[in-house]
Structure 1
């Protein structure tokens, strides 16, 4: 790796400030190996996808986030599972970002982690998100998968992870993600 840190964008599927997925995303940033830096993107200003609005051009919030994802070396999604699938808000964001032939997820290294108060840790949403990312030709990390079940027992009131096993799993995924980014770059250069 070069001396320039890998620039990673975090996309949290929950806008709630005390979201367990935001806590998981912040944990991922804190356990990334040296040479990686995470910035969690704010997407609150992204409107509902509307063809009439799109006909007028990309809204500024969408255009800015598209460029931020495009510039990033990788993207980490942390999303909750709503009704066995992808929350509407983050799916709307993905749909906006994917408009046009120059959509920024093509060949972009992506990692996914999920947190849930239930025992499965958001497993079902990961598989639906993987299908969407596959269609967009994203380079999604396959393993290790991270499902943080019973998240309410693994983070304290300040959002810090109190569970060493969870910390290790997320750290291992971020180490694998750094290697994956390097592998994707090699494949693209070949």
Structure 2
């Protein structure tokens, strides 16, 4: 069964990046599944001694099985979160290139006024070796994110909603290309 996989670069329960993924899932339609990025820190010695952890393999299998992936990340010190980078590093160690040819949309929700421009640039660089079909736009940059959702998790800003709809339309079009 086809599904959209959401990966949030923030673990916090009230994460606005997770809220943004859920909003994207409603726009995209269908089955949204969330990947769990609560993984052990990448450690080559651990990998050599025990192999790829089951939680990492589960994530890689989710990526491979998804029709598309949407990633939303905060901006930490002008780049992506350590949680997201760790997950990308671990998944790169699995067999079968789960990212190859996968349609991927990226977004960001941040407290700052730029909405995560630098984190999206950094994430695009991190995704290059995986040979995804990365959607180039429209950009979904959600600034002042803690004030952008209503009690039901819907975006309150019409421009942000329009940008999200445009990004999800572009992702659906890329999926349809096959």
TM-score (norm 2): 0.93
Confirm or deny: 8 A CA contact 1:31 1:167 kept in the other structure: no
- Kindly tell me the number of residue pairs found equivalent between the two proteins: 177
Instruction: Report the Cα distance in structure 2 between the residues aligned to 1:39 and 1:100, rounded to whole angstroms.
Output: 20
Summarize the alignment of residues 7-26 of structure 1 with structure 2, pairs less than 5 Å apart: 7-26=3-22
**Which one of the candidate residues 84, 89, 95 is aligned to 1:90?**
84
Summarize the alignment of residues 25-44 of structure 1 with structure 2, pairs less than 5 Å apart: 25-33=21-29, 36-44=30-38
Confirm or deny: 8 A CA contact 2:104 2:133 kept in the other structure: yes
Instruction: Report the Cα distance in structure 2 between the residues aligned to 1:158 and 1:125, rounded to whole angstroms.
Output: 27
Q: Partner of 1:114 in structure 2? A: 108
Q: Partner of 2:58 in structure 1? A: 64
Instruction: Report the Cα distance in structure 2 between the residues aligned to 1:72 and 1:98, rounded to whole angstroms.
Output: 17
Confirm or deny: 8 A CA contact 2:57 2:94 kept in the other structure: no
Q: Partner of 1:188 in structure 2? A: none
CA RMSD of aligned residues (A): 1.5
Structure 1 gaps of 5+ residues are 186-190
Instruction: Report the Cα distance in structure 1 between the residues aligned to 2:152 and 2:68, rounded to whole angstroms.
Output: 27
Q: Partner of 2:69 in structure 1? A: 75
Q: Measure how far apart 1:58 and its partner are.
A: 0.9
Alignment of 1:123 with 2:95, yes or no, is no
Q: Which deviations, in whole Å up to 9, do the C-alpha atoms of 1:35-72 show, x marking residues without a partner?
A: x432112222x100011221121111011111111111
Instruction: Report the Cα distance in structure 2 between the residues aligned to 1:48 and 1:158, rounded to whole angstroms.
Output: 34
Q: Partner of 2:147 in structure 1? A: 153
**Which one of the candidate residues 40, 43, 61 is aligned to 1:47?**
40
**Which one of the candidate residues 155, 164, 175 is aligned to 1:170?**
164
Runs of 4+ more than 4 Å apart:
none
